[in-house]
């Protein structure tokens, strides 16, 4: 299988451009933070009715998320590794209501950390909020 075949297979498996570019950069040993223009300036991209095309969080929350993401991504050792007990597995769960989804769906994700420093992220499918 050639590199082109591998790239083509990745496109079939991961249709989301955001995830594709992050995966390719990680293979090169590079971290990244992709930000949409509509996140930084939501009032510059309006619908015909005059509303922002995308819903965004308030400016303080956007700034906090960007700052903490960059902090974690630029550290040689993740901050959570400093206080982990040997032989312990830590799992963080996130549930998020997708307010703009027509069926009021939610998505879930989990990140698991081992005391050895290994981690893995699980991203679940969207489903009904109950």
Predicted confidence at residue 78, as pLDDT, reads 62
Residues 21 and 51 grouped into a single domain:
no
Between residues 17 and 45, the one the model is more confident about: 45
107: domain range?
78-130
pLDDT higher than 70, residue 49: yes
Residues 61 and 90 grouped into a single domain:
no
Residues 103 and 123 grouped into a single domain:
yes
Polymer length in residues for the chain: 130
Burial 64-99 (b: 16+ CB within 10 A, else e): eeeeeeeeeeeeeeeeeeeebeeeeeeeeeeeeeee
What 3-state class would DSSP assign to 92?
A: strand
pLDDT higher than 70, residue 90: yes
Residues linked to residue 94 through DSSP beta bridges, in sequence order: 109
pLDDT higher than 80, residue 100: no
Which tokens hold the place of 123? 């991203």
pLDDT higher than 60, residue 127: yes
What's the pTM value of the predicted model, to 2 decimals? Answer: 0.49
Backbone angles phi, psi at 111, to 5 degrees: -130, 130
What 3-state class would DSSP assign to 89?
A: strand
Total count of domains within the chain? 3
Which tokens hold the place of 90? 């830590």
Residues 103 and 125 grouped into a single domain:
yes
């Amino acid at each position: 299988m050639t590199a082109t075949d591998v790239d083509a297979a990745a496109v079939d498996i991961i249709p989301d451009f955001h995830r594709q570019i992050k995966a390719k950069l990680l293979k090169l040993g590079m971290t990244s933070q992709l930000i949409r223009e509509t996140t930084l300036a939501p009032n510059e991209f309006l619908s015909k009715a005059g509303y922002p095309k995308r819903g965004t969080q308030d400016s303080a929350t956007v700034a906090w998320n960007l700052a903490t993401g960059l902090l974690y991504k630029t550290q040689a050792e993740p901050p959570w590794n400093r206080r982990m007990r040997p032989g312990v597995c830590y799992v963080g769960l996130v549930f998020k209501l997708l307010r703009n989804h027509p069926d009021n769906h939610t998505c879930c994700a989990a990140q698991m950390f081992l005391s050895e420093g290994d981690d893995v992220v699980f991203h679940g499918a969207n489903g009904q909020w109950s």
